[in-house]
Chain A
Amino acid sequence: MLISNLEVVPGYNIVKHLGLVQGSTVRAKHVGRDIIAGLKNIFGGELSGYTELLQEAREEAVERMKQQALAVGANAVINVRFSTSSVTQGAAELFAYGTAVVVEEK
Chain B
Amino acid sequence: MSNLVLFLLLLVLGYSFGRYAEQRHYRSIIRREKEYSDVVLTTVRRPAPGVELTGSELVAGSVVISVDYFKRFLAGLRNLIGGRMTSYETLLDRGRREAILRMKQQAKARGANMVFNVKMETASISKDGGSALGSVEILAYGTATTVTIRE
A47 touches B62 (CB 8 A): no
Is B56's beta carbon under 8 Å from chain A?
Answer: yes
Is B135's beta carbon under 8 Å from chain A?
Answer: yes
User: In the assembled complex, which residues on chain A have CB atoms less than 8 Å from the CB atom of B53?
Assistant: 10-11
B10 touches A10 (CB 8 A): no
**Given the known A-B contacts A41-B135, A58-B62, are A85 and B71 also in contact in the complex, defined by CB atoms under 8 Å?**
no
**Given the known A-B contacts A11-B54, A46-B63, A46-B65, are A41 and B143 also in contact in the complex, defined by CB atoms under 8 Å?**
no
Is A6's beta carbon under 8 Å from chain B?
Answer: yes
Question: Which chain B residue shows the least CB distance to A2?
Answer: B56
The segment from B32-40, B78-86, B117-125 that touches chain A is: B117-125
> How long is the Cα–Cα vector from A59 to B64 in the complex, in angstroms?
16
User: In the assembled complex, which residues on chain B have CB atoms less than 8 Å from the CB atom of A47?
Assistant: 64-66, 135
Within 8 A of B (CB), among A52-96: 54-55, 58, 62, 80-86, 89-90, 92
**Contact pick for A43, options B13, B47, B121, CB 8 Å:** B13
A50 touches B56 (CB 8 A): no
User: In the assembled complex, which residues on chain A have CB atoms less than 8 Å from the CB atom of B69?
Assistant: 41-44
> How long is the Cα–Cα vector from A62 to B57 in the complex, in angstroms?
13
Within 8 A of B (CB), among A18-67: 34, 37-38, 40-48, 50-51, 54-55, 58, 62
> How long is the Cα–Cα vector from A45 to B67 in the complex, in angstroms?
6
Least CB distance, A78 to chain B, in whole angstroms: 9
Question: Which chain B residue shows the least CB distance to A77?
Answer: B58
Is B31's beta carbon under 8 Å from chain A?
Answer: no
A82 touches B13 (CB 8 A): no
User: In the assembled complex, which residues on chain A have CB atoms less than 8 Å from the CB atom of B143?
Assistant: 4-6
B58 touches A8 (CB 8 A): no
User: In the assembled complex, which residues on chain B have CB atoms less than 8 Å from the CB atom of A51?
Assistant: 62-64, 137
Is A7's beta carbon under 8 Å from chain B?
Answer: yes
Is A3's beta carbon under 8 Å from chain B?
Answer: yes
Question: Which chain B residue shows the least CB distance to A42?
Answer: B69
> How long is the Cα–Cα vector from A38 to B125 in the complex, in angstroms?
12
Chain B residues within CB distance 8 Å of chain A = 10, 13-14, 17-18, 21-22, 25, 45-47, 52-58, 60, 62-69, 71-72, 98, 116-117, 119, 121, 123-127, 129, 134-135, 137, 139, 141-143, 145
6 closest Cβ contacts across the A-B interface?
A: A44-B68, A10-B53, A44-B18, A50-B64, A84-B123, A43-B17
